[in-house]
Chains A and B, each alone.
Chain A
Amino acid sequence: MAAGNGPRIAVALDGAGWHPAAWREPGARPGELLTAGYWADLVREAEAAKLDFVTLEDSLALQTEQYLDRPGERTDVVQGRLDAVLIAARVAPLTSHIGLVPTAIVTHTEPFHLSKAIATLDYVSTGRAGVRVQVAGRPADNRHFGRREFGEFRLEDSATPDVPSPLSELFDEAADYVEVLRRLWDSWEDDAEIRDVATGRFVDREKLHYIDFEGRWFKVKGPSITPRPPQGQPPVTALAHAAVPYRLAARSADVVYVTPFDRTQAGEIVIAVRDEQDRAGRAAETLHVFGDVVVFLDETEQAAADRKARLDDLSGAKYTSDAHVFTGTPAGLADLLLDWQAAGLSGFRLRPGAVPHDLTAITRGLVPELRARGAFRTEYEAATLRGLLGLAKPANRYATA
C-alpha cells in the first residue's frame, strides 16, 4: 500500500537528540556521535519503518542552544559534529529506499561545489538525495571565512520580506543560490553522454549547456562537471518560521518545514506559504508543507512528561523549541498529526527529543499506530525520494526536444 491518505513522515537527526540533555540518557551513545556506525544505525532504523526521509542537521560553528547564541559556550551539551553531506554519503550505500537530506549552509559555500556534491549524493544513493538549504547570519560563522561582512542579523527582520535587511538579503541570496544549483543540475541533458564510437565523441556537446547565471551575489558559467543526477532535480527543502523564509521556500523549495504550535496556526501558515507560492508564480507546482514537531514519546502521557521533566532537570532549564514540543503517547501523536494534516500540512518532520528512545518510539510506536489507521505505507512505493514525495522527474529546462 502506498502512503494512503496519511501524512508523509521524516525524522530530523541531530546529535543525541534535540533535548540538550539527551546525550545523558541511558541508551544514548554520546561517545560515538562522530562515527559512521552511529549514523548508519539511526538511518537504518528510520528506513526499517519506511519513513520518507531523514534530515541531518549541520552548522559551520559549534552547537548553540538558541540560534544567535555564541557557539560552543556550554560544556554540558554535545559539541562537535561532522559535515552532513558526507554523513549522508557515508550512509547511502548501507540503505536502499529512504531519502537522505543533509543540511547545507548556503551563505558561505560555493553553489558549484554544493551542486555537484548533491548530484553525487544522488548517484551514490541511486536517486534518494535531497538538500536542506540554510543561511548562516551569525558573526561566528562569518569569522570562519573572514571574507564577508554584513550588517546585524536580527531574527525579528524575518517577518518583513518587503523591508530590506541583512536577514532578507541573505534569504534573497539563498534564492539565487538555489537557482544556480538547479540550473547546474539541468546543465547536462539526461542523454548527453553518447559514447558514439563511429564519430569518436563521448558526449554530444549540444546537450551540455552554459548556465551563464549572473546576479547580485553570483556569476557562474557552467556547465556542471557532474552529469544530471538520477532524479534530475534532487528535492530542495528549507526550514521557515516567518514571512521572509516562507518567500524563499515558495520561490525555491520542494518541501518547506514550518513550525506551528497548534492546528489553527498550522492552517494560517499553510495559507501564508500558499500565498507566497502564488506570488512566486509556482501555484501549479507541488510544494510540500511539513510541520516540525519535537517529540518525547512513552507508553503513557505521564511517563513522557516525567521523562522530559527529568531531562529538563539534568540540563537545568525547561526545554523549549522553535517548534511545538509534544510529550505523550504514539497514539496521541498520531491524533495530533492527522488533525494538523487536515489543516493543510502534507507531512511532518519529527525531531526526536532523545535518541535512540524517541526515534524508536516513532518507528516502532507511531508508525504502527498510523498504519493501523490506514495512514502510513507498509512498503516503499517508489525507489527515489521524488517518487516518495509524489514528484515527477522534471523536464530539463535546457532540452529543446
Chain B
Amino acid sequence: MTQPRKQIHLAAHFPGVNNTTVWSDPEAGSHIEFSSFVKLAQTAERAKFDFFFLAEGLRLREQNGEIYDLDVVGRPDTFTVLSALAAVTERLGLAGTINSTFNEPFEVARQFASLDHLSAGRAAWNVVTSWDAFTGENFRRAGFLPQDQRYSRAETFLRTAWELFDSWRGDEIAADAGTGVFLRDANAGAFAHHDEHFDIEGRFPVPRSPQGRPVIIQAGDSDEGREFAAATADAIFSRYGTLEAGQAFYTDVKGRLAKYGRTSEQLVILPAATFVLGDTDADAHERAHVVRLQQVSGQTAIKFLEQLWNADLSGYDPDGPLPDIDPVLGEHTIARGRASVRMYRDPLAMSREWRQLAEAKNLSIRELIIEVTGRQTFIGSPATVAATIDDLVQADASDGFILVPHVTPGGLDEFADKVVPLLQERGSFRTEYTGSTLREHLGLDA
C-alpha cells in the first residue's frame, strides 16, 4: 500500500493595502463594501480552503509627510468583518490579524472567544506586535513600547489570553430549568494574571468556545519571532515560498518545536504566495509581466526608491537611471507605517547592489524596482502551478500556502476553478471538508 500523500493547506488573503493589489484593473471592485468580502470568502469555501485571512492596519501610511495615495487606502475592522462572514459561510476558517500592542488581552480574548462561538469554531488570530509611536498616535497611551519589549509583551499577552480562554472548562453551564441551576460552578471564568505587563483579575464573561482556544497564527521571522512561534503558534505565515528557502525555514522552525514538547504536526507552515495563471506557461508569463507593470507604476517605483534612499526623489525620471547620490543614513523617516522599511538594514550596501544590477541589465528605475520587488510565486498554466505547489509541499518546503490574489474580489476564482481540481486529482487536497472547525481543517488537536 502506498503512503497517503501529504495534504496541502490553503488559505485566501483578502487583498489590501499594498501595491500587490491592482486597483486599476477593470475587474477590481470595492475594498470596503461587504459584498467583496462575501465574494472572496465564498470562493475560498467553494474551493474547500482552510481559511480566509484578513490583515490589519491601524494608521494610514505616509511618505514625505503625506498620506500615501498610490495604493489601496482604507480597510474595515477585522473582528466585525469576520463575524459577518460567519453568517455567509459554513466551514471556512476566519482568521484575523490583531495587534497585541494597541489592545488589552481581556478585550481581545473576549472578542476572539465571541467570534469562535458565533462561527461555531472557525476563529483564528494572527498575533502581531508593534512598537512604533507613529501608529500609537491613534491610541490613548500614545508613545509606545520599547522595541526590545515587543515580544515579551506579545508572549505574555498571548499567554494571558490563553488563561482567559481556559478559565472556563466547558461543562459549567447546566441551564437546567427544572432545578434552576444555570451554572454548575460558582467560580467559572475566574482568572488572575499578574506580571510586569498585565495585572488583571476577575471573571471572564465568555464561556468556553467551540475550539477552546482559537487557532494562533504568527509571522515573526527574526530569531526571537521564530522562537515565539515555535513555542506558541498553530500556524506560521512565512515569506519563504521557494524550495530551498522554504525547506531551510521549515527545518529550522519545526526543529525548534521539540524543546517545547511539541511535534511537527502541531505547527503548520504557510508561506504567502501570489499567482498568475494562463492557458500556457508562456501565456501566464506574459500576463505576469502585465500585472507587474500594473503593480509598479513609474510613481510607485520612485516611492519604493525613496524608501531605500530615505530621501525625496520625486525629481527623478522613473524611466531613467538610478540616482547617483547615496542613500541618506541615520533615522529612517521618509516612509512611516510601512513594514517594508525595516528590511533596509544596510541601505548603502543595498543601493550599491541595486546600482550594479541596473547597470548589468541596463534597467531603468521602474524596471529595476519591478525586478527587485518581484513577488509572484506561482506563474504558469494550471497544470504547472498545481504541480509546483504539490511538489513544494511534498518536499517539505511548506505545508501549504496563503494565496494573495492581485484583484479584489474575483482574483481567486480562476485558481479555485482550474488549479484546485488538479490538486484534488493528485490526492493532495480535500474534495470535501471532513471537519467543521478550523482546528480540524488544519489537523490540529482540539
Contact = CB atoms under 8 A, between A and B. Distances in A.
Interface of A: 21, 23-25, 28, 30-31, 34-36, 40, 59-62, 71-73, 75-83, 85-87, 89-94, 108-113, 116-117, 119-121, 123-124, 126, 140, 143-147, 188, 193, 195, 197, 200-205, 208, 217-223, 225-227, 314
Contacts of A117: 77, 79-80
Given A146-B198, A200-B300, A225-B75, A110 B183 contact: no
Given A23-B177, A108-B107, A195-B24, A203 B140 contact: no
A59 B205 contact: yes
Contacts of B60: 208, 223, 225
Given A204-B69, A208-B60, A76 B76 contact: no
B138 A86 contact: no
Nearest to B33: A123
Interface string B179-208: 011111110110000000011111101110
Contacts of B86: 36, 90
A124 B84 contact: yes
Contacts of B73: 193, 202-203, 208
B203 A72 contact: yes
A86 B83 contact: yes
B304 interface: no
A85 B118 CA distance: 12
Given A120-B81, A123-B34, A208-B60, A76 B23 contact: no
A24 B177 contact: yes
B138 A82 contact: no
B182 A36 contact: no
Given A30-B177, A86-B115, A221-B138, A93 B84 contact: yes
Contact of B80 (A21, A25, A120): A120
Given A23-B177, A36-B86, A77-B182, A205 B76 contact: no
B80 A79 contact: no
Contacts of B119: 36
Nearest to A219: B142
Contacts of B106: 60, 144-145
B74 to A, nearest CB: 5
Nearest to A212: B137
Contacts of A314: 180
A80 B87 contact: no
A74 B83 CA distance: 30
A150 to B, nearest CB: 15
B381 interface: no
Nearest to B106: A144
Contacts of B202: 61, 71, 140, 143-144
Given A83-B114, A201-B70, 13 more contacts: A34-B207, A60-B110, A60-B205, A71-B203, A77-B182, A85-B80, A90-B84, A144-B201, A195-B23, A201-B69, A202-B23, A205-B69, A219-B142
Contact of A147 (B32, B103, B104, B182): B104
A109 B79 CA distance: 14
A143 B300 contact: no
B97 to A, nearest CB: 12
Nearest to B200: A146
A116 B207 CA distance: 26
B258 interface: no
A77 B180 CA distance: 8
A144 B107 CA distance: 9
A79 B167 CA distance: 14
B57 A225 contact: yes
Given A92-B87, A119-B76, A197-B24, A76 B182 contact: yes
B23 A144 contact: no
A108 B105 CA distance: 12
Interface string B117-160: 11110000000000000000111101000000000000000000
Interface of B: 23-24, 32-34, 38, 57-60, 66-67, 69-77, 79-81, 83-84, 86-88, 102-104, 106-107, 110-111, 113-115, 117-120, 137-140, 142, 168, 173, 175, 177, 180-186, 188-189, 198-203, 205-207, 297, 299-300
Nearest to B299: A200
Contact of A31 (B74, B173, B189, B201): B173
Name the residue in B75, B84, B86, B106 with the highest tally of chain A Cβ atoms < 10 Å from its Cβ: B84
A24 B180 contact: yes
Nearest to B111: A83
A201 B113 CA distance: 39
B117 A34 contact: yes
A126 B379 CA distance: 38
Contact of A226 (B32, B72, B140): B32
A72 B200 contact: no
Nearest to B186: A75
A35 B69 CA distance: 41
Contacts of B300: 200
A331 to B, nearest CB: 30
A89 B84 contact: yes
A80 B299 CA distance: 53
Nearest to A40: B87
Name the residue in B57, B114, B118 with the highest tally of chain A Cβ atoms < 10 Å from its Cβ: B118
Contacts of A146: 198-201
B77 A116 contact: yes
B114 A86 contact: yes
Nearest to A39: B118
Contacts of B299: 200
B205 A62 contact: yes
B193 to A, nearest CB: 9
Contact of A94 (B66, B72, B74, B87): B87
Contacts of B111: 83, 86
Contact of A28 (B113, B118, B177): B177
Contacts of B72: 202
B103 A113 contact: yes
Nearest to B198: A146
Contacts of A108: 104, 107
A158 B73 CA distance: 43
Given A86-B118, A200-B297, A80 B180 contact: no
A82 B208 CA distance: 11
Contact of A61 (B139, B175, B182, B205): B205
Contact of B70 (A35, A76, A202): A202
A80 B206 CA distance: 5
Nearest to A315: B180
Contact of A120 (B76, B107, B177): B76
Name the residue in B23, B80, B88, B168 with the highest tally of chain A Cβ atoms < 10 Å from its Cβ: B80
Given A108-B104, A201-B69, A62 B203 contact: yes
B79 A85 contact: yes
Contacts of B87: 36, 40, 90-94
Nearest to A30: B175
